[in-house]
Amino acid sequence: MPQKTVVCTGDSITQGGGFYLPQPYPQLLQGRLGWPVTNAGMGGDTTTIMLARYGAIIAYLPHFDYVVISGGINDIPDAVYNPALTRSNITAMCDRALAVGITPIVCKISPRCNIANYSARVTAHNEWIEAFALENDYGVIDFYTLLEDPAHPGCTLPAYSYDGYLHPNQLGINAVVAAIDLRIFGVSGQTEVTDVVTVCEVATTTTIPVGWNT
């Protein structure tokens, strides 16, 4: 099939980099797809900030075919957390993508368990993402199920955790990317990540410049 293009927007779990996550998921996704994948993640972004710089992201290159939207994990700790606002922001990003011919893919966010009510908020958000995606026929990437610790629901499996409460490590991200069903990108044959190191060596991504806003 013809080569297509993807942009991934989100927070630090998308951005990665450095000792925390030397091969972030957009880089590994490019290795699986064999397509250009642009990393537009920005550490600390809430969905409100993501939406504010969204116009620049989708205009940075002449055209993307897919946008992966991973947001909400930084909305949740807010003392005045408003799930309706988070949902409105994600919906708006999807609508703006569709308006210019880009197919949205949404993400279930990773576990976050350092404060009790965070886990409940994450669960509710991910349940909404599933229903929203089903209603609109959007693909979903699941950052939650593989990373969750069955012994401690709502928390990240220790083997997959970088900091013990929020950020997955490289092993965890590798597992998530290996489990992505590439049919959400219109790819009929599944490529397997049998050697993550090899995939990382061939996968280099474009990064949206820091500070771009609408």
pLDDT in tens, 32-62: 999 999 999 999 999 999 999 998 887 776 6
Is the pLDDT confidence value at 202 over 80?
A: no
**Span 70-89, average pLDDT:** 94
Largest interatomic CA distance in the chain: 47
DSSP state, 145? T
pLDDT in tens, 2-27: 789 999 999 999 999 776 788 999 99
Is the pLDDT confidence value at 197 over 60?
A: no
Question: What are the φ and ψ backbone dihedral angles of 3, each rounded to 5 degrees?
Answer: -70, 140
Cα–Cα distance measured from residue 29 to residue 133, given in angstroms and rounded to the nearest whole number: 20
The CATH topology of domain 6-204 is Rossmann fold (3.40.50)
Please give the residue that has the higher pLDDT: either 195 or 27.
27
Is the pLDDT confidence value at 1 over 70?
A: no
Is the pLDDT confidence value at 110 over 80?
A: yes
Confidence at residue 19, expressed as pLDDT on a 0 to 100 scale? 63
What is the token pair recorded at 97?
A: 């993508």
Cα–Cα distance measured from residue 61 to residue 66, given in angstroms and rounded to the nearest whole number: 12
Work out the pLDDT band at 148, boundaries 50, 70, 90: very high
pTM: predicted TM-score of the whole model, two decimal places: 0.87
Is the pLDDT confidence value at 196 over 60?
A: no
Residue type, position 143, single letter: F
Is the pLDDT confidence value at 205 over 90?
A: no
Contacts of 214 (CB under 8 A, 6+ apart): 52, 53, 54, 55, 56
